[in-house]
């Protein structure tokens, strides 16, 4: 007899923390396990590992660079990478492999960043190569790149907080006081728990100019000074103003990138010298080889990777008479030679992840940098005030040097020298110590006058610093001046070319490149599609379908034809038959919802082949209405894959038929009636989601249940069911017509 459950079953978990004394387990609710065990891990990944902060660095980057800074590698010579990795382990509690991989990405040799932070020597791999492995740490050498001086400027002036490392044996900075918006200059990617970050890189000169413009005018149009991202691998950026403004405003969106190429007439070949940042040369080579093998590209005789020390180069040998421009348009469409860079500007602000646009990020950076400058100025004021305090004590001695010497000479105990000087001149202990430490040779009027002369200068400097500290405009001017210096010293020309009038290959142009041959298309009731060539069809046996599935329809067409797939969510997906692989009768075929990227739970209701987009699509609905929509309404100039509002949502869809010209159809009602109606009686509607017109006069509780072409209905006595006007009640379906129709379906 089953034990009755009195409360929800609790999950039993075996962990060391909850194991009993004799190996038994204790019960712990799964919600408590997630809260106690999983949430701290998730927060650690988000806050301390995967997402960059406002200085543009993740903790692993910051710990590595600060270690190199403390090792004196900003001004000194290179040292073995293994030495740097070992020293970094004092701050970074991860393995040496993870630390070295971080260094590789920051290195000049890897070419990941527009402005590398590590000056490397040796093989550090390449960001544009998937298979080019970097050498081990014992073989390579590194030091900090000169631009790192802008990361550590004034780090010893209390500009940022210093915190304990993981074992509290030394201090490390919580952020680096970068003098420029590195968060948008250095590309960054990270995957946390439940969120991710993907930040593209922008040109340093353009970012500095944009930041300055925003500081002067909060309503500045960012697009005027920041036309688009700039990537270390170069290539071409296809400018789209709407998409760019969306990324700038929201921090989400994407940029289209394209490879840079040139045609070499002498060898009848194409040389690709720059590729999109988001792909790799091996990925491109593999895709081109796959297309050649599938017969989709026939213009290429050979393709090889000729990358050497001078940089990336992919060479394509062309067959005689091939148009290089047309081939590249085709390759852009079919391979990663044209790719998109998805943006997700997720940044930690005060420990909280936030997705922000470019303008908001620059505002946050400006506010943070202002705080750094304030802390630096306050630190400078403190140091100058301490110096001023000492000099004012020294000034007192100027009044009577002999008295100071006499006090020191006549004091018997060393410990009483400072107290006696304090009493004799009315100075405090700090000033008295400073006077007491002066060398005997410096107790002369010239030395003391020279030192005390700086008092007025120090007082003036302190007043200027306080004035700057209390003036928002002057603080802004300090930041602007530093940005201008960085831009002038480290700025460089764009690597990624911006194409403002890029011409996308239209479907008409690219359709010529698709091989044209006869095929037979089979579509099953559950949405599986098979495209079979005439030769394969002759050799094949019975068509195979998934258990419980069956053939919905089949038709002969060509490989260049397009199809419309209508779904139960009033949407239409467009596809080309050339996008489907040639299949066999023994295969199930391509599952359309998966192949076309449909929404979860969306199912196929009908598949229509378009031909030359002449003719009509007929929609029949349960409420007895029918809509006649020209096929041309689904023809698009751009290669759109999905059309919403493909048909009316006012009544459930029963059937979809297509015809090249007006013909006879049979509509059936659920109460056993049928009516033969000419499609010429239906006026075509240019609006896709039209409700149509009533074709059946339905009795109470009856609905339109089916629709067929007259030729497929099996009805012999056509005149009995033919209607001259609509809506029509139809005639009761006779058994012989019904039986013949059923026999026709069985065949």
CA distances from 524 to 273, 540, 544 (A): 46, 17, 10
Backbone angles phi and psi of 700, in degrees to 5:
-60, 135
Nearest to 274 by CA among 302, 224, 247, 310: 310
Using the predicted structure, report yes or no on whether residue 4 has a pLDDT greater than 60.
no
pLDDT for residue 740 is more than 60: no
Residue boundaries of the structural domains of the chain: 51-178, 260-336, 365-490, 514-603, 612-747
Specify the CATH number for 260-336; select among 3.40.50.10580, 1.20.120.1770, 3.90.79.10, 3.30.1360.40. Answer: 3.30.1360.40
Under the banding of pLDDT at 50, 70 and 90, the label for residue 513 is low
Continuous H helices in 530-635: 534-539, 592-595
Task: Give the pLDDT score at 13.
Answer: 42
**Residue 609: CB partners within 8 Å, gap ≥ 6?**
521, 555, 557, 561, 562, 563, 564, 658
Looking at the predicted structure, is the pLDDT value of residue 17 above 50?
no
Alpha carbons 723 and 287: distance in angstroms, whole number: 57
- Over range 243-247, report the average pLDDT: 94
Q: What is the pLDDT of residue 23?
A: 55
Task: Summarize pLDDT for 258-270 with one digit per residue, the tens.
Answer: 999 999 988 899 9
CATH number, span 612-747: 2.120.10.90
pLDDT at 357: 95
Q: How many residues does the chain have?
A: 747
Give pLDDT tens digits for 536-595.
888 777 888 888 888 888 888 888 888 899 998 888 998 888 888 888 888 888 889 888
Query: For residues 82 and 681, which has the higher predicted lDDT (pLDDT)?
Result: 82
Structure tokens at 513: 């490149």
Residue 47: band (very low, low, confident or very high) from pLDDT cuts 50, 70, 90: confident
Query: What pLDDT is stored for residue 743 in this prediction?
Result: 44
Angle, helix 454-469 to helix 445-452, in steps of 10 degrees: 20
pLDDT digits (tens, 9 = 90+) for 116-133: 999 999 999 999 998 899
Q: Which of 568-572, 621-625, 682-686 is predicted with the least confidence, judged by mean pLDDT?
A: 682-686
Confidence at residue 264, expressed as pLDDT on a 0 to 100 scale: 92
Judge whether 621 and 704 are in contact, CB under 8 Å.
yes
Q: Supply the pLDDT for residue 146.
A: 95
Structure tokens at 567: 């779904």
Has 139 been annotated as catalytic? yes
- 26-30, 427-431, 700-704, range with the lowest pLDDT: 26-30
Q: Give percent of the chain above pLDDT 90.
A: 47
Q: Is residue 505 over pLDDT 60?
A: no
In our burial notation (b when 16+ CB lie closer than 10 A, e otherwise), range 237-271 reads bbbbeebbebbbeebebbbbbbbbbebeeeebbbb
Backbone angles phi, psi at 8, to 5 degrees: -55, 140
Residue 478 reports pLDDT greater than 90: yes
- Residue 692 and residue 648: Cα distance in Å, rounded? 8
Segment 618-623 mean pLDDT = 92
Please determine, for residue 380, whether its predicted confidence score (pLDDT) is greater than 50: yes
Question: Under a CB-based contact definition with an 8 Å cutoff, are residues 74 and 142 in contact?
Answer: no
Q: What's the rounded Cα separation, in Å, for the pair 716 and 666? A: 12
- What per-residue confidence (pLDDT) applies to 199? 95
Q: Which CATH architecture has domain 51-178?
A: Alpha-Beta Complex (3.90)
Q: What are residue 73's phi and psi, to 5 degrees? A: -90, 5
- 16, with CB counted inside 10 A (0-12, 13-18, 19+), is exposed
Residues 6+ apart with CB under 8 A from 676: 664, 665, 666, 710, 715, 718, 721, 722, 723
Cis peptide leading into 582, omega within 30 of 0?
no
User: If DSSP codes are grouped into helix, strand and coil, which group holds residue 144?
Assistant: strand
Catalytic pick from 38, 41, 139, 613?
Answer: 139
Sheet containing strand 731-732, strands side by side: 704-709, 664-669, 673-678, 731-732
Pick the CATH number of 365-490 from 3.40.50.170, 3.30.360.10, 3.40.190.80, 1.10.268.10: 1.10.268.10
Does the pLDDT at position 14 exceed 80? no
Q: How much is the pLDDT for 621? A: 92
Q: 143: part of which helix (H) or strand (E)?
A: strand 141-144
Report the mean per-residue pLDDT for the chain. 87
The pLDDT value given to residue 136 = 95
639 falls in which pLDDT band (50, 70, 90)?
low
């Amino acid at each position: 007899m089953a034990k009755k459950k009195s409360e929800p079953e609790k999950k039993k978990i075996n962990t060391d923390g909850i194991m009993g004394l004799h190996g038994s387990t204790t019960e712990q609710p799964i919600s408590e396990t997630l809260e106690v065990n999983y949430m701290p891990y998730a927060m650690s990944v988000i806050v301390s590992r995967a997402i960059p902060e406002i200085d543009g660095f993740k903790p692993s980057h910051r710990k590595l660079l600060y270690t190199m800074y403390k090792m004196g590698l900003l001004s000194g010579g290179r040292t073995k990478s293994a030495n740097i990795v070992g020293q970094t382990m004092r701050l970074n509690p991860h393995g040496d492999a993870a630390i070295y991989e971080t260094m590789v990405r920051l290195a000049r040799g890897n070419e990941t960043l527009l402005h590398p932070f590590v000056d490397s020597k040796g093989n550090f791999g390449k960001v544009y190569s998937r298979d080019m492995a970097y050498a081990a740490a014992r073989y390579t050498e590194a030091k900090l790149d000169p631009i790192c001086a802008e990361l550590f400027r004034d780090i010893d002036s209390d500009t940022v907080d210093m915190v304990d490392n993981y074992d509290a044996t030394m201090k490390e900075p919580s952020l680096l006081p970068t003098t420029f918006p590195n968060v948008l200059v250095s590309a960054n990617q990270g995957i946390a728990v439940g969120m991710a970050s993907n930040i593209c890189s922008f040109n340093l000169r353009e970012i500095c100019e944009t930041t300055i413009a925003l500081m002067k005018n909060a309503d500045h149009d960012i697009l005027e000074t920041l036309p688009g991202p700039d990537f270390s691998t170069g290539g071409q950026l296809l400018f789209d103003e709407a998409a760019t403004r969306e990324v700038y405003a929201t921090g989400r969106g994407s940029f289209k990138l394209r490879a840079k190429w040139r045609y070499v007439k002498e060898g009848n070949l194409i040389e690709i010298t720059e590729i999109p940042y988001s792909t790799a040369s091996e990925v491109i080579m593999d895709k081109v080889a796959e297309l050649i093998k599938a017969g989709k590209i026939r213009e290429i005789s050979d393709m090889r990777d000729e990358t050497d020390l001078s940089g990336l180069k992919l060479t394509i040998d062309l067959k005689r008479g091939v148009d290089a421009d047309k081939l590249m348009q085709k390759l852009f469409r079919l391979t990663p030679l044209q790719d998109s860079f998805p943006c997700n500007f997720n940044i930690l602000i005060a420990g909280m992840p936030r997705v922000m646009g470019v303008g908001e990020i620059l505002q946050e950076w400006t506010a943070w940098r202002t705080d750094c400058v304030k802390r630096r100025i306050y630190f400078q004021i403190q140091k100058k005030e301490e110096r001023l305090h000492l000099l004012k004590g020294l000034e007192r001695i100027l009044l009577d040097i002999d008295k100071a010497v006499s006090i020191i000479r006549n004091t018997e105990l060393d410990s009483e020298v400072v107290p006696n000087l304090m009493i004799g001149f009315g100075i405090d202990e700090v000033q008295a110590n400073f006077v007491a430490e002066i060398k005997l040779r410096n107790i002369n009027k010239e030395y003391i006058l020279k030192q005390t002369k700086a008092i007025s200068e120090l007082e003036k400097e302190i007043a200027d610093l306080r004035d700057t500290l209390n003036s928002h405009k002057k603080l802004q001017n300090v930041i602007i001046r530093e940005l201008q210096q960085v831009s002038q010293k480290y700025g460089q020309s764009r690597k990624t070319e911006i194409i403002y009038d890029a011409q996308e290959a239209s479907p008409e142009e690219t359709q010529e490149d698709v091989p044209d041959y006869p095929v037979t298309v089979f579509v099953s009731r559950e949405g599986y599609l098979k495209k079979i060539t005439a030769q394969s069809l002759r050799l094949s046996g019975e068509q195979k379908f998934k258990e419980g599935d069956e053939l919905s329809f089949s038709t002969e067409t060509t490989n260049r034809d397009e199809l419309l797939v209508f779904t139960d969510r009033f949407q239409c997906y467009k596809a080309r038959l050339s996008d489907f692989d040639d299949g066999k009768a023994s295969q199930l075929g391509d599952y359309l919802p998966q192949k076309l990227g449909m929404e979860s739970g969306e199912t196929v209701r009908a598949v229509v082949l378009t031909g030359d987009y002449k003719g009509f699509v007929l929609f029949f609905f349960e409420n007895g209405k029918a809509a006649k929509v020209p096929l041309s309404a689904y023809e698009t100039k751009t290669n759109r894959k999905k059309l919403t509002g493909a048909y009316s949502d006012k009544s459930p869809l029963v059937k979809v038929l297509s015809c090249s010209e007006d013909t006879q159809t049979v509509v059936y009602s659920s109460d056993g009636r049928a009516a033969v109606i000419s499609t010429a009686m239906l006026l075509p509607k240019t609006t896709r989601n039209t409700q149509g017109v009533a074709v059946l006069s339905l009795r109470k509780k009856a609905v339109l249940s089916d629709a067929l072409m007259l030729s497929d209905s099996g009805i012999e006595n056509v005149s009995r069911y033919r209607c001259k006007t609509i809506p029509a009640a139809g005639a009761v379906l006779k058994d012989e017509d019904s039986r013949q129709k059923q026999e026709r379906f069985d065949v």
